[in-house]
Amino acid sequence: MKNFILGAILIIALIAGGYVIWQNQNPQAVMPGTLTNTDGTQPASGDTNSTDTQPTPQTPVPTTSAKAAPSDTTAVVTGTVNPEGAITSYWYEYGTTKELGKKTTSQEIGSGYSALATPGYITGLTKNTTYFFKLVAQNSLGTVSGDVNSFTTSSFSSAPVGGIASATTLAASGITANEATLKATVNPNKSATQYWFEIGKNGSFGGVTTVTSIGDGNALEAASASVTGLEAGTTYYFRVDAQNQYGTVNGAILTFKTGGKVVTVAPVVTTQVVGAVTANSALVAGTVNPYGVQTTYWFEYATDPKFGQSQTSSKKSVGAVSTTVSVQATLNGLKAKTTYYVRIVAENGGGTVKGDSQTFQTK
């Protein structure tokens, strides 16, 4: 499976009553069936996951921000939610005591394994009153609450201008075997608005494009994103999401199917110098460049330099990136005071390649 470019962990801050979104760009996509760490990053060396052992979706992780922007009768609040691999909704509960008692309308933030911004807009408040609030997130695995924070309304009206954005998903264009352009329209409704697309092989998505600002106008604006590294002859589901200080909205889910076959390239591998060695184990390492094709790797080792009666480490996925990735594995159950030969092996649709062998001796 191939990856497409994705954004990112979102962190929202309220500055002087304003609404700012920062992006922490992540160049790897989270595709259904392709595993990443729970923060959405490429697995670190020695922690690469196999598509046979994908992370199991879990309950969401909400974080309530202590920052709020209250007026006399309204308040903008925010936080982040990590959906932990399952379609997730969020809302805010609030009240004049820590028992809360009221809540905002539920909004859907999508799936994936990265923290996403969760703005909310609370109305109908009383002037000069302290309110407590918390962020709550829910997916099919359960409901989780963030910490309880507070704000105090003012005696004068300073409610922000505008309202929640609107977003409409449009048909994809420029569809080839491994690329497509996703399209939509977004109306910011007079409030600074960002948009992104979710995409995947089913309605749970799993992939997210880079978050893009579309301004604070009051008219329909064209929104688009190019996605690459898609699989040939595959149906993809996608939708647009738009977000401003008033909350998050989701466009309708549409589909498209990629065309023809993609020419695949065999991976390039390098066996590196062996690391820590004990009497019965050894840390081995190497590099793999999948060249944009979903690739699996493992280590082969034996006491015979020709690798007769060899053994292998467990097979793991390195994804479908187009860069060189460092990997490692611990070999256990070795014989003491024995010389071993080891090499890295990688396989994708373009073929199977074996790296040069390295040697080590157990203690």
**Res. 93: pLDDT tops 70:** yes
Percentage of the chain lying above the pLDDT 90 cut: 65
Which tokens in the block code for residue 8? 């990112």
- Rounded CA gap, 176 and 180, in Å? 6
Tokens standing for 235? Answer: 């149906």
Q: 């595959």: which residue's tokens? A: 234
- Write out pLDDT tens, residues 94-112: 999 999 999 999 999 888 7
Query: Taking the domain 268-361, which CATH number applies?
Result: 2.60.40.10
pLDDT tens column, 167-220? 999 999 999 988 999 999 999 999 999 999 999 888 888 788 888 999 999 999
Amino acid code (one letter) for 193: T
In this prediction, residue 55 carries a pLDDT of 67
Residue 259 has pLDDT above 90, yes or no: no
DSSP letter, residue 335: P
How many angstroms separate the CA atoms of 29 and 26, rounded? 8
| Range name among 3-7, 103-107, 328-332 with the lowest pLDDT average | 3-7
Q: What is the mean pLDDT of the chain?
A: 83
How confident is residue 293, by pLDDT bands cut at 50, 70 and 90?
A: confident
Paired strand residues for 149: 133
Provide the pLDDT for residue 320. Answer: 83
pLDDT at 40: 33
Question: What would the mean pLDDT of 45-51 be, rounded to a whole number?
Answer: 29
- Across-strand partners of 14? none
Tell me the C-alpha to C-alpha distance, in Å, between residue 5 and each of 136, 161, 169, 228. Answer: 29, 34, 19, 7
- Torsion sign (Cα): 120, 126, 130, 131: negative
Written as six digits, the tokens of 144 are 């989780």
Domain range summary for the chain, segments of one domain joined by +:
1-262, 268-361
pLDDT at res. 217: 95
- Please say if the pLDDT value at position 121 is more than 70: yes
**Do 268-361 and 1-262 fall under one CATH topology?**
yes
pLDDT digits (tens, 9 = 90+) for 206-242: 788 888 999 999 999 999 999 998 888 889 999 999 9
Q: What is the pLDDT of residue 204?
A: 81
What's domain 1-262's superfamily in CATH? Immunoglobulins (2.60.40.10)
Note the pLDDT of residue 150: 97
Burial bucket for residue 281 (CB in 10 Å: 0-12, 13-18, 19+): middle
Evaluate whether 193 touches 220 at the Cβ level (below 8 Å): no
Q: Does the pTM exceed 0.75?
A: no
Residue that wins the pLDDT comparison between 30 and 87: 87
Q: Can you tell me the mean pLDDT for 75-83?
A: 94
- Percentage of the chain exceeding pLDDT 70: 83
Structure tokens at 68: 């709020």
